[in-house]
Amino acid sequence: MWPSGSSSLTTFEIAVLEQIDCITFEPRQLPIDDQFALDRRTRAAQPLNEDGARCLMIFLIRCALLLLFAVLLACPGRAADPVLAPSGTLRAAYIGPNVAQGRVDPATGTVSGVVADIARELARRADVPVSITPLPTAAAVLDAVRSGHADIGFVAPNPERTGVVLYSRTYMLVQQSALVRADSPLSSVKELDRPGQVIGVNSDDSVGVWLKQRLTAAKVRETPDYTLRDAVQWLRNGEVTAFAGGRQRLSSGTRGVPGLRMLDDNFYGVPQAVAVPLDHQDRLQLVNAALGEMRSSGFLADSVARSGIEGLTVAPIGTQEP
């Protein structure tokens, strides 16, 4: 065994030496005649005694450790991106109830969809891991970005959301339509702006802001219930003429509910953008450059097609830039 009291050995070196303790360094015995024939230089080249061999082994181990340390320094590991992901992980947030953005697999917890594809591609380019978190509302996403709990957020810019974050260029449009009762005489969203008609919307939904700015005769009624239970009840009871929202969200949220139908046309396409904190112009530039490359390479088009979501289109360059 190696002497355990040696002050010249580090803990790691002692552990290594204990692993090679089975190796012995016995002086090699030469025949008598050969020993007398050796000159001084030859005698100096004989194997070391046990103490000398141990010192040599310590020296070699230390050299090996220094070499390993140098190799590790020459091969940097995954480090924090000071611009995109200062914590070392790209933290992305999106609106959970908005299936046009993403969906969570209930079995695995994995998020899929266009926002997930974009977040993972940004993280890949920065060589950092990514976390993608669904939040209940757009306001919650903006709060997460503004407070620094999220590095990027996926939302639809609108006049009520300006001045709190910076927005990237528009990368996608989500078409907005309306549900009506199956027995409604209405066939187009163009027929909704009439006196006495009420259009239901979800609170903080971009289509609600858009309608308030443009309706001249019809009224808007809001509900915070993104499960669409209020929407179904209001339509059945005749409390609203129609309920507006994203085509996919409305159709998937009321699938299997009898007595309702979707109008064939759309109000408009809600622009989708990436939000970053107000004081991170450098992050915004990085995101815009990446989104431009994703658009030109076909990455966004492939992601939209792969999502299988109704009413999604890649935004043409310059479309409703925030």
**pTM, entire model:** 0.69
Residue 181: pLDDT band (50, 70, 90) is very high
Residue 291 has pLDDT above 50, yes or no: yes
pLDDT at 13: 52
1 part of a folded domain: no
Residues 19-31 pLDDT 10s: 544 444 444 454 5
Check whether residue 262 and residue 292 sit in a common domain: no
Check whether residue 148 and residue 220 sit in a common domain: no
32 backbone dihedrals φ, ψ, rounded to 5°: -55, -45
6 part of a folded domain: no
Q: Kind of pairing, strands 152-155 and 90-95? A: parallel
Integer Cα distance of 296 and 307 in angstroms: 19
Check whether residue 225 and residue 239 sit in a common domain: yes
Distances from the Cα of 192 to the Cα of 200, 212, 257, 276, angstroms? 11, 13, 22, 36
- Structural domains counted in the chain: 3
Least confident of 52-66, 111-125, 205-219, 230-244: 52-66
Residues 139-151 pLDDT 10s: 999 999 999 999 9
83 part of a folded domain: no
5 part of a folded domain: no
Check whether residue 44 and residue 68 sit in a common domain: yes
Check whether residue 252 and residue 281 sit in a common domain: no
Which of these, 50, 49, 45, 46, lies nearest to 21 by C-alpha position?
50
149 part of a folded domain: yes
Written as six digits, the tokens of 64 are 């090996």
Domain boundary among 236, 251, 268: 268
Check whether residue 40 and residue 69 sit in a common domain: yes
Task: Pinpoint the alpha helices (H) of 215-280.
Answer: 229-237, 247-253
Check whether residue 264 and residue 279 sit in a common domain: no
- The domain that holds 255 is classified in CATH as 3.40.190.10
pLDDT at 176: 96
Written as six digits, the tokens of 200 are 């239901």
Check whether residue 186 and residue 262 sit in a common domain: yes
Check whether residue 25 and residue 160 sit in a common domain: no
129 part of a folded domain: yes
> Which residues lie closer than 8 Å to 291 by C-beta, 6 or more apart?
118, 168, 169, 171, 274, 300
Domain boundary among 230, 249, 268: 268
Give per-residue burial for 244-254: e unless 16+ CB within 10 Å, then b: bbbbbbbbebb
Residues 159-170 pLDDT 10s: 878 889 999 999
Mean of all residue pLDDT scores within the chain? 85
Check whether residue 278 and residue 163 sit in a common domain: yes
140 part of a folded domain: yes
181 part of a folded domain: yes
Check whether residue 162 and residue 286 sit in a common domain: yes
Residue 4 has pLDDT above 80, yes or no: no
Residue-number span of the structural domain to which 293 is assigned: 90-169+272-314
Check whether residue 310 and residue 198 sit in a common domain: no
